[in-house]
Structure 1
Amino acid sequence: MGQQEKSSANSNSMQRVKVYCLSDDGKWDDQGTGHVSVDYLERSEDLGLFVFDAEDNETLLMHRIRAEDIYRRQEDSIIAWKDPDYATELALSFQEPAGCSFIWEHISNVQRNLQFSAINSKSTK
């Protein structure tokens, strides 16, 4: 029981990430370090990834999770994808592998739900 309480208190540090953006010359540019979460986009029912700067709480990244986006998990601690809004590749490098697994599961669940909704809406028309 104590272990579970401890892990929820640690969840903030587990979700600590560096945000990288692939530049035109093929290099990964460090966009900053912050905490990532999955939450609803403003005035929307869509879920997205948010990264808030660890120092000043500025938004480093806001990414809408789409069913058609292809996310790649690399090693134990990196999630990367091509983002149509930013028109480039983005990557999150996690401080803790457990944090990477946690967010990876969230993304997978959101995509499954989006695909399920799309199938259902087609079958009712």
Structure 2
Amino acid sequence: MMVNNTAPFWRDTLAYVGVWCLDANGSLRFEGLVPDRPAVFAMVVDNMPVYVGLTGRALTERLDDFRATHSDQLSQSGKIKARVHQEIISVLGEGREVEVYVHSFRDVRDFAQNAWELRNNLRAAYVPDWNRAKAA
């Protein structure tokens, strides 16, 4: 993972909202409270962002996209959801945590004006591993 000497940037910008866990059946569940608004979010492993995304819908719905397994793996969106789902399970299986941090927006207008820039700045600063397509 590459960082451009901006280690505290994500912590100054995003707030902790919870952590991914595996239940007794080995299924993903999210423990925490997320804002029910548009947001930029980061999944963080070992104190480094590994995935940075945004959602214009309720963040709970977006996190559900990663929680579920996906039969829609033909679309680009389905491939990303399935890949991130597997990455989370893999990290948890190693006994490490996947934390979620968020910057939520007051309303759709605030989101439209600021979300893409924030997401792109975070991705440029940290080049998160899970945002990069894996070679087949």
- TM, length-normalised to structure 2: 0.29
Structure possessing the higher radius of gyration over alpha carbons: 1
The structure with the largest helix share of the pair is 2
Q: TM-score, normalised by structure 1?
A: 0.30
Which structure would you say has the larger RCO, counting Cα contacts within 8 Å and 6 or more residues apart? 2
Q: Which has the higher strand share?
A: 1
